[in-house]
Amino acid sequence: MKKFVEVIAKYNQEGQIRPLKIIWEDGRVFDIQRITDIRPAASLKAGGVGLRYTCIISRKKVYLFLENNQWFIG
């Protein structure tokens, strides 16, 4: 099951998207300290295919996916 999240992101003039923060359902906000990889990929855990951002949040690796204009954790 996909865990959809709200994301604050920056869009540049070339159309590239860079997520900056993840907001959970309960209102907690987590800063994305670093993005180490961006690639098209499938979420083996949650299902679905999209653009996968490998993010570092609180010193942990998190896979954040963008699929059909929706963000989810995979």
The 3 state secondary structure assigned to the chain is CCEEEEEEEEECCCCCEEEEEEECCCCCEEECCEEEEEEEEECCCCCCEEEEEEEEECCEEEEEEEECCEEEEC
3-22: average pLDDT: 96
Report pTM: 0.89
Q: What pLDDT digit, counting tens, does each position of 22-52 carry?
A: 999 999 999 999 999 999 998 877 777 789 9
Strand partners of residue 54 = 37, 63
Three-state DSSP at 20 gives: strand
pLDDT at residue 21, rounded to an integer: 98
Lookup result for tokens 């690639």:
39
| Domain parsing of the chain, residue ranges | 3-73
The predicted pLDDT at position 62 comes to 94
